[in-house]
């Protein structure tokens, strides 16, 4: 049984992101494939008392900054390859979160923060030594971190900062440099779609045979009697089954929620629009015109949910009349896949990876055309037969991205490494 060490860079976030979901799915699939898993975190772990390593590791309240001198020293030690990762010993005394499936956990305080700072300043990588050598170090996002004597696999989700630079706040120079370095150093590159692979090859000089398209899989959500019942959750938000329009995604330019809102405001419907996503860069600019167009209907017909649990999101997918996702660009596009899995009719963009994910099971629109978005919503609101057809085709399309198929693609990615 081989051990795969993955980064906890996004796993440590309090609320889910697409890359966090990717990491969780990767871990669970590796376990199901029979491999042991380890996660590298960069938690502070600054308690001085002996016996508190485990408590310190799980203590989210401990978020103090390293003094500048220690910060720079830590970065320099990593660059020199003399920094050992600490293996966290777990006991029955501390009840740990059950969410993340791993065999072992390593920690190095501020490892990612210091490594990124060092790479920005000098272009040097941080190289760490693991107490128990894994078979593979898998970075779920391009990071300037390597593990001594271990082959590196890096996942590249998209090149949106380079393809659509005006839609993100990313440091474009840093992003280009870190992706270029990952492509140079990694034994294998995991691309989440054929679209992402094409984008990589268009921007960088790299052997295409080193890039393996793994796609993604959707997470199954186990039922729990302790969670809010479905009907109560819908009632809490003033929703009826099959009688609302759903959008899922952060409120930022690249997700195109502004055009969704304006297209919805132009509809002659009393069905509510549910927007699930946190406000991000330029969210007020995205929402403002649509809210003004919606006017008094905002209070009665718009539901904005900042964050919902995984199970609550599944409830929304199952009960929505339709799901609208005209994103400007996606490396993969997990939300429409999740909607299809639950039989929710999908409207999405005819660009980037979305046709690759949705196949013939969606209504496609030009994401820059408010008129097309509105027309597609009108069509699905009026055509019950089309909705039933899309629902069935969507469920079949989603099966292509099952955990079993994902495991087969991962086996190709790791072939010869584990």
9 burial (CB, 10 Å; 0-12 / 13-18 / 19+) is: buried
pLDDT single digits (tens) 100-114: 667 788 999 889 999
What does the pLDDT read at residue 294? Answer: 79
* 80: confidence class by pLDDT, cuts 50, 70, 90: very low
Strands 145-147 and 126-129: parallel
372 in Cβ contact with 348 (< 8 Å): no
What does the pLDDT read at residue 44? Answer: 77
pTM: 0.89
Mean pLDDT of 352-376: 98
**3-state DSSP helix/strand/coil percent for the chain, to nearest 5?**
45, 15, 40
Find tokens 């992101």 and name the residue: 17
Closest CA relative to residue 152, chosen from 132, 141, 137, 140: 137
Beta carbons within 10 angstroms of residue 222's beta carbon: 8
The C-alpha atoms of residue 356 and residue 364 are separated, in whole angstroms, by: 12
Q: What is the CATH number of domain 3-217+403-413?
A: 3.40.50
What does the pLDDT read at residue 354? Answer: 98
Residue count of the chain: 418
Q: Looking at domain 230-399, does it have CATH number 2.40.50.1070?
A: no
Mean pLDDT of 346-369: 98
- CB-based burial, 395-416: b 16+ in 10 Å, e otherwise: eebbeebeeeebeebbeebbee
| Tokens representing residue 101 in the block | 């499936």
Mean pLDDT, all residues of the chain? 88
Q: Is the pLDDT of residue 12 over 80?
A: no
| Tokens representing residue 152 in the block | 């590196």
Q: Is the pLDDT of residue 99 over 90?
A: no
Mean pLDDT of 205-226: 83
What does the pLDDT read at residue 217? Answer: 93
What whole-number percentage of the chain has pLDDT above 70? 85
| Tokens representing residue 204 in the block | 């960088």
What does the pLDDT read at residue 20? Answer: 87
* 146: confidence class by pLDDT, cuts 50, 70, 90: very high
The C-alpha atoms of residue 418 and residue 414 are separated, in whole angstroms, by: 6
CB within 8 Å of 226: residues ≥ 6 apart: none
Beta carbons within 10 angstroms of residue 371's beta carbon: 12
* 2-11, 232-241, 309-318: segment of lowest average pLDDT: 2-11
pLDDT single digits (tens) 272-294: 999 999 888 777 888 888 888 87
88 in Cβ contact with 107 (< 8 Å): yes
* DSSP secondary structure letters along 351-408: STTHHHHHTTSEEEE-TT-HHHHHHHHHHHHH-HHHHHHHHHHHHHHHHTT-HHHHHH
pLDDT single digits (tens) 168-199: 999 999 999 999 999 999 999 999 999 999 99
Every domain of the chain with CATH number 3.40.50.2000 lies at: 230-399
* 92: confidence class by pLDDT, cuts 50, 70, 90: low
The C-alpha atoms of residue 209 and residue 343 are separated, in whole angstroms, by: 36
The C-alpha atoms of residue 47 and residue 200 are separated, in whole angstroms, by: 43
What does the pLDDT read at residue 295? Answer: 81
């Amino acid at each position: 049984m081989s051990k795969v060490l993955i980064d906890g860079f996004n796993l440590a976030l309090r609320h889910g992101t697409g890359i966090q979901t990717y990491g969780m799915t990767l871990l669970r699939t590796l376990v199901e494939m029979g491999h042991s898993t380890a996660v590298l975190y960069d938690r502070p772990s600054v308690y001085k008392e002996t016996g508190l390593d485990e408590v310190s590791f799980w203590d989210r309240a401990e978020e103090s900054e390293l003094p500048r001198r220690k910060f720079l020293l830590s970065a320099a030690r990593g660059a020199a390859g003399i920094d050992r990762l600490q293996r966290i010993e777990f006991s029955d005394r501390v009840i740990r979160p059950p969410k993340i499936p791993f065999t072992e956990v390593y920690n190095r305080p501020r490892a990612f923060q210091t490594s990124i700072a060092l790479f920005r300043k000098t272009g040097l990588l941080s190289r760490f030594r693991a107490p128990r050598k894994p078979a593979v170090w898998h970075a779920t996002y391009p990071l300037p971190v390597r593990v001594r004597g271990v082959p590196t696999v890096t996942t590249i989700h998209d090149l949106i900062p380079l393809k659509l630079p005006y839609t993100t706040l990313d440091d474009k120079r840093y992003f280009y440099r870190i992706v270029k370095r990952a492509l140079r150093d990694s034994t294998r590159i995991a691309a989440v779609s054929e679209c992402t692979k094409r984008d990589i090859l268009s921007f960088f000089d790299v052997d295409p045979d080193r890039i393996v398209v793994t796609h993604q899989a959707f997470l199954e959500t186990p039922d729990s009697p302790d969670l809010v019942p479905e009907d109560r959750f819908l009632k809490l938000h003033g929703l009826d089954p099959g009688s609302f329009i759903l959008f899922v995604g952060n409120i930022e330019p690249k997700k195109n929620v502004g055009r969704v809102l304006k297209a919805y405001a132009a509809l002659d419907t009393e069905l509510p629009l549910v927007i699930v996503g946190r406000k991000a860069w330029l969210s007020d600019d995205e929402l403002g015109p649509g809210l003004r167009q919606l006017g008094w209907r905002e209070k009665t017909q718009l539901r904005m949910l900042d964050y919902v649990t995984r199970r609550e999101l599944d409830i929304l997918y199952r009960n929505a009349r339709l799901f609208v996702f005209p994103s400007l660009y996606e490396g993969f596009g997990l939300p429409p896949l999740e909607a299809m899995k639950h039989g929710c009719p999908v409207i999405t963009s005819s660009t980037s990876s979305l046709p690759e994910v949705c196949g013939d099971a969606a209504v496609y629109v030009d994401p820059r055309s408010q008129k097309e978005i509105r027309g597609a919503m009108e069509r699905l609101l009026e055509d019950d037969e089309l909705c039933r057809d899309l629902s069935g085709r969507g469920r079949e399309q989603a099966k292509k991205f099952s955990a079993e198929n994902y495991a087969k693609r991962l086996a190709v990615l790791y072939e010869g490494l584990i």
